[in-house]
Amino acid sequence: MRCILDKEKFLGLEYFDTVRITVEDNKVLVYCMSNLGIKYEFLSFCEKTQEGIAVFGAKMLAAKIKSLPGDSVVFKNNMISDSGKKVFHKLPVLSDNDDIGIICEKEFDWSVKLGSDEFFSVVDNVSFCVMSRRDRPVTNNVCVKVRAERVTSFGFDGYKLASSSRELELGKYIDESIFIHFSTVPILKRWIKGKKNVRLGKKGTWVYVSNVDSSICFLQQSVDIPDFNKILNFPAKCIVSFDKLELQRALQSLTLTDEGICFIFKNGKCNLRCIGDDNSSSAAVIGFKCDSSPVDFKVNGKFFIDVIRKVPGKEFSINLGKNSQDPVLVFSKDIKCAIAPMVM
């Protein structure tokens, strides 16, 4: 087996466990597999090839490729080197499990063509709300609902909830939900970038995202999700607006003392306060705009920073309820978010 490939094609390889490289004529098929039920495949063309198959440990191969000088990697059986042939690595070859490839998958239960930018945004906008909790599978996944002419995503970690929605021309009526495991999210986001369109489809328990020369697929989990829209539609009493940069800088400074930040509205100013475990304390005073008297509340400052980074513009607005125990809501063009308050 012999071929030459660009190193950038192997970005994200460390997320997998094994990788199979198959060379046939001038085609090189790279097939990556994860023990978590994630598969990734891409097709490349190159000259001066030698047919053959080799299977490597993905994490070791990723580290060795990264260490090579230059922009390309030369494969020759179980040896890799840079194009200038100055650095060489001999790798152990693993046995092939004969798992089939995924690019050629055509018989889907259902599939739709999506703009990659739109699909990337609905996944990326809510991914900061996904975490790993084995006792609560709903927190482990980005839930993507495809219905009629709209794609909506939800992310929930038990403390904050985010939703993002985009209108799309699907060309057919679809009413389906898919779940993207937290371990798949960074791989999928990296894969989508730079592509114009992708095809989203499902076959059995597998979901496929693919284009003409590469594909990624992942197993579905059985997840029962609550009515997230009920939380996001919680009745609000008032809207409070801040200068986004001023609030972000204050929170970044205060959270060095403690994550729990009290928002106290007094004399036309917002006082931010926190007390550390070592009895140290920090405070900041910032301006705000509101047509009524907002309720004081306490929230995890790092959660606020996560949301602020997703909201465009120079102003950051929150919707508050009547009590300090009510969820803090954030609404913008691209994202809706609810944050559970802390006990003051």
Whether residue 217 is found in the same domain as residue 308: no
What CATH number has the domain bearing residue 116?
3.10.150.10
Label residues 209-227 b or e (16+ Cβ within 10 Å = b). Answer: bbbeebbbbbbbeeeeeee
Does residue 99 lie within any of the structural domains?
no
Domain containing residue 82: 2-90
Q: What is the pLDDT of residue 260?
A: 96
52: left (phi over 0), alpha (psi -120 to 50) or beta: left
Whether residue 321 is found in the same domain as residue 273: yes
CA dihedral (215, 213, 96, 75) positive or negative = negative
Show the tokens assigned to 156. Answer: 């929930």
Whether residue 121 is found in the same domain as residue 187: yes
Q: Are 238 and 219 in contact (CB under 8 A)?
A: no
Q: What is the pLDDT of residue 54?
A: 92
Least confident range of 169-173, 209-213, 229-233, 253-257: 169-173
Whether residue 209 is found in the same domain as residue 267: no
Whether residue 208 is found in the same domain as residue 240: no
Domain total for the chain?
Answer: 3
pLDDT in tens, 50-93: 999 999 999 999 999 999 999 999 999 999 999 888 999 999 98
Q: What is the pLDDT of residue 318?
A: 96
CA distance 208 to 204: 11
Does residue 46 lie within any of the structural domains?
yes
Does residue 96 lie within any of the structural domains?
no
Higher pLDDT, 80 or 45: 80
User: pLDDT band at residue 218, thresholds of 50, 70 and 90?
Assistant: confident
Q: What is the pLDDT of residue 98?
A: 64
Q: Is the pLDDT reported for residue 159 higher than 80?
A: yes
Domain boundary among 29, 56, 90: 90
Domain boundary among 225, 249, 281: 225
Whether residue 247 is found in the same domain as residue 220: no
CA dist list (Å): 199 to 33, 100, 169, 217, 224: 20, 19, 13, 11, 25
pLDDT in tens, 88-145: 999 998 887 666 566 656 688 888 888 888 889 999 999 999 876 666 767 888 999 9
85: left (phi over 0), alpha (psi -120 to 50) or beta: left
In the block, tokens 């809501």 appear at 329
Q: Are 178 and 220 in contact (CB under 8 A)?
A: yes
